[in-house]
Amino acid sequence: MKSSIMHILKQSNDWVSGEYLCRELGVSRTAVWKHIRGLREDGYDIEARANLGYRLRSVPDIPYPDEVTVDLDTVVMGSRIEYYTDLPTTNGEAKKLARAGCPEGTVVVAESQSGGKGRMGRFWFSPRGRGLWFSAVLRPMVNLVETPQVTMVVAVAVALAIREHTGVAAGIKWPNDLLVEGKKICGILVELNAEMDRVNFMVAGIGLNVNIDSSQFPPELSETVTSLKIAAGHHIPRVPLLRTILQSFDFWYQRWLREGFVPVLNKWRELCVTLDCPVTVHTMKDSYVGHALDVDETGALLVQTPDGEVQRLVAGEVSLRKI
Amino acid sequence: MKSSIMHILKQSNDWVSGEYLCRELGVSRTAVWKHIRGLREDGYDIEARANLGYRLRSVPDIPYPDEVTVDLDTVVMGSRIEYYTDLPTTNGEAKKLARAGCPEGTVVVAESQSGGKGRMGRFWFSPRGRGLWFSAVLRPMVNLVETPQVTMVVAVAVALAIREHTGVAAGIKWPNDLLVEGKKICGILVELNAEMDRVNFMVAGIGLNVNIDSSQFPPELSETVTSLKIAAGHHIPRVPLLRTILQSFDFWYQRWLREGFVPVLNKWRELCVTLDCPVTVHTMKDSYVGHALDVDETGALLVQTPDGEVQRLVAGEVSLRKI
């Protein structure tokens, strides 16, 4: 009902009488008033005048499903959007929905995460209303060996959306962190639930620092992380940004399903900032220094060690060395 | 308490007085009697005589944790065993325990599965007490690309355990069904929960037809499935068989972690009954006929099509063609 009232107010773009709302929606004046109050509590600025009725002055920059889906043009992404003020992690909630059979493209978004996590179980700072913390459920009909490509699909899609929407030159660090001027601005955590020859579902979690000021980061992070606001020099509305990201994600995901990994990989190479760089590699087994040469056709990083050998890295941690 | 009484009766192998049990366990005669009754209900045959006390005549062939773990010699397999009379699926319960953080090697075993499933979501006939329906939780520190190897580890381990324990010549059909004389005797369903560079857990589900008579199979299955009892010509006790399988599984799993895929693959090739055979291949995309040549070093099946080309098959369904 709140959605319907909002829809009418948005469409009219002018005063709408209470009487009209009652008639259209088949409810009492008291009911209309109750829902208007609810919308105001949600952050919608609605003017009310005795003789004129109601007029929408502004919508809040909060990723409510009703706002995100306005003019959202996608095949699957955002097919269903679940909004929460707080979650332990959006990936956790998305996995729960996925196990229960939610449609592909279901997106879980939260204002804050109490237990936000990055790769390798690391803490991810997710303060209330200052970022886009969300997860999308995917159900690709691919082989298990192709699933790691999804992290690169997401990295490409989000980096391009950031560039297009804000002009901030986000780059990719292998395999899927987004950096701006060497500092992390976005983390991507893709999880997989599969049988050996069938993907049950994947969940792609994205944590993007949007309107966090330098002073708001925990001191131990302040040297290594940044936000779009810091990089762009101004506040960035989150709802249109999220819409752009979902559209870009949808585009690159569909393209990957249709055309395979090559177009993704080519774009990934263009956006990567850690190729032809000295790196330190940490794997589950050992650590070594080397020079990042390229990625191969599977997305593995090729690192040349000082003795000239080339190591093929399918998983692990890579840090840039300053020389 | 029931476990402790059982332990004392097993150790003694003779009459044990009620007085002795009371003293050892610090409980009343009534309590001892109550637990003896419980053990009898569980299927333990315990004799009771006024002047002598209790004597264990026989233990039931039911995979209770206390029975399976007797002399079980493994590194991780069976570190914890959960027994159920009925479950929807043992894989489902094992995944629940794994998400909650259970130790590696946790085994879930059920007398029957109401929703037993094979690969591709297919029905798996799991009648009460007639088979070994169980799942093990694994937490290997390996890369995602190596995880499909686990299905072949399980196939090798179970096929060898069956051969050793019953003399029935179980063979492997790519990738991981076990056949006896061309009929399916065991299905293996491995599931994976992972991040892109870290395995959270895997669950290996095994459904082995033990004491099912031909007449007990649903008519639509009777031509394509068999059981150990049918193949061996006699009833097979399940508890020692399960113990042998867990030990074999543990051995091959540890060997795989330590030495990699090559020893597993070599043994898999020896046990495979579908190499050098005419096959029909069904993948997610298409179907074709060909000749199964070999598996490569990743476990993919190499199939030569009539035009001479060799297809590399990483997932899909292969059926043997009669010519």
Q: Tell me the per-residue pLDDT of A38-66, one tens digit each, with 9 for 90 and over.
A: 999 999 999 999 889 999 999 999 999 99
pLDDT of A307 above 80: yes
Question: What confidence score (pLDDT) does residue B126 get?
Answer: 86
Question: Given B119, B193, B195, which is nearest A197 (Cβ)?
Answer: B119
Q: Which residue has 């009310």 as its token pair?
A: A48
Judge whether residue A256 has pLDDT over 80.
Answer: yes
pLDDT band, very low/low/confident/very high, at B213 (cuts 50, 70, 90): very high
Q: How many residues does chain A have?
A: 323
Q: Which residues contact B199 (CB under 8 A, 6 or more apart)?
A: B139, B140, B141, B142, B144, B147, B192, B193
Binary contact (A143, B189; C-beta < 8 A): no
* Tokens (6 digits) for A129: 């209303």
**pLDDT range class, residue A323, cuts 50, 70, 90:** low
B283 lies in the same domain as B263: no
Mean pLDDT computed over every residue of chain A: 92
Token pair for B308: 């001479």
Dihedral, B280, B282, B285, B289 alpha carbons, nearest 10: 0
Q: Does residue B179 sit in helix, strand or coil? A: strand
Q: Mean pLDDT of all residues in chain B?
A: 92
Nearest neighbour of A316 by CB, restricted to B147, B176, B197: B197
A194 vs B175, B191, B197: nearest CB:
B191
The residues that bridge with A28 in the sheet, in sequence order, are: none
Q: How confident is the model at residue B120 (pLDDT cuts 50, 70, 90)?
A: low
Question: Are residue A103 and residue A46 in the same domain, yes or no?
Answer: no
For B174, the 3-state DSSP assignment is coil
User: If pLDDT is split at 50, 70 and 90, which confidence band does A299 have?
Assistant: confident
Q: Contact B315/A193, CB-based, under 8 Å?
A: no
In tens, the pLDDT along B129-165 reads 899 999 999 999 988 888 989 999 999 999 999 999 9
Q: What is the mean pLDDT of residues A287-306?
A: 88
Domain count, chain B: 3
Does residue A100 sit in the same domain as residue A127? yes
User: For residue A176, what are its two tokens?
Assistant: 């899927």
Q: A127 with A52, same domain? A: no
Kindly provide the b/e burial profile for residues B50-85, where b requires at least 16 CB atoms within 10 angstroms of the residue's own CB: eeebbbbeebebbbbbbbbbeebebebbbbbbbbee
**Lowest-confidence region among A130-139, A195-204, B204-213:** A195-204
In percent, how much of chain B has pLDDT > 70?
97
Helix (H, G, I), strand (E, B) or coil at B299: coil
* pLDDT the model gives residue A249: 98
Residues A35 and A109 reside in one and the same domain: no
- Measured between alpha carbons, how far is A237 from A61 in angstroms, rounded to an integer? 6
Tokens at A30, concatenated: 């008291």
Percent above pLDDT 90 for chain B: 72
The stretch B209-222 carries a mean pLDDT of 90
My answer on whether A45 and A87 are in the same domain is no
Query: What pLDDT digit, counting tens, does each position of B92-115 carry?
Result: 999 999 999 999 999 999 999 988
Chain position carrying tokens 């009418």: A8
A19 and A140 within one domain: no
pLDDT at residue number A316: 65
How close are the terminal C-alpha atoms of chain B, in Å? 61
Predicted pLDDT at A222 = 82
CA dist., res. A123 & res. A215, Å (int): 18
Yes or no, beta carbons of B192 and A196 under 8 Å apart: yes
Instruction: Over range B205-226, report the average pLDDT.
Output: 91
A73 plus A206 within the same structural domain: yes
Tell me whether residue B85 is annotated as binding.
no
Same structural domain for residues B52 and B120? no
Minimum distance, in Å, between the CA of residue B287 and any CA atom of chain A: 16
- For residues B238 and B61, give the distance between their C-alpha atoms in angstroms, rounded to a whole number: 6
Domain residues for A282? Answer: 277-320
What pLDDT shows up at residue A286? 81
Tell me which chain A residue has its CA closest to the CA of residue B313.
A143
- Which residues in chain A have their CB less than 8 angstroms from residue B119's CB? 195-198
Q: What is the CATH number of the domain that holds B85?
A: 3.30.930.10
Check B120 against A197: CB less than 8 A apart. Answer: yes
CA B36, CA B190: separation in Å to the nearest integer?
A: 39
Q: Are residues A46 and A118 in the same domain?
A: no
ipTM value: 0.81
B113 is in an annotated binding site: yes
Shared domain for A145 and A247, answered yes or no, is yes
Q: Chains A and B: how many Cβ contacts under 8 Å?
A: 86
What CATH number should be reported for the domain holding residue B305?
2.30.30.100
Cβ contact A119–B197 (<8 Å)? yes
On whether both B122 and B48 belong to a single domain, the answer is: no
Domain boundary, last residue among A271, A290, A310: A271
Give A138→chain B minimum CA distance, Å.
14
- pLDDT for residue B211: 96
> Which residue from B minimizes the CA distance to A95?
B193
pLDDT average, residue stretch B248-269: 96
Stretch A227-232: mean pLDDT: 96
Q: What is the residue whose two structure tokens read 């762009």? A: A232
Residue type, A224: T
Residue B178, pLDDT score:
96
Q: If you average pLDDT over residues A298-320, what whole number do you get?
A: 83
* CB < 8 Å to B195, chain A: 119, 189-192
Task: Determine the angle formed by the axes of helices B29-41 and B18-25, rounding to 10 degrees.
Answer: 100
Q: With contact defined as beta carbons under 8 Å apart, do A278 and A320 qualify? A: yes
**Range with lowest mean pLDDT among A33-37, A177-181, A313-317, B273-277:** A313-317
* Residue A266 φ then ψ, to 5°: -60, -45
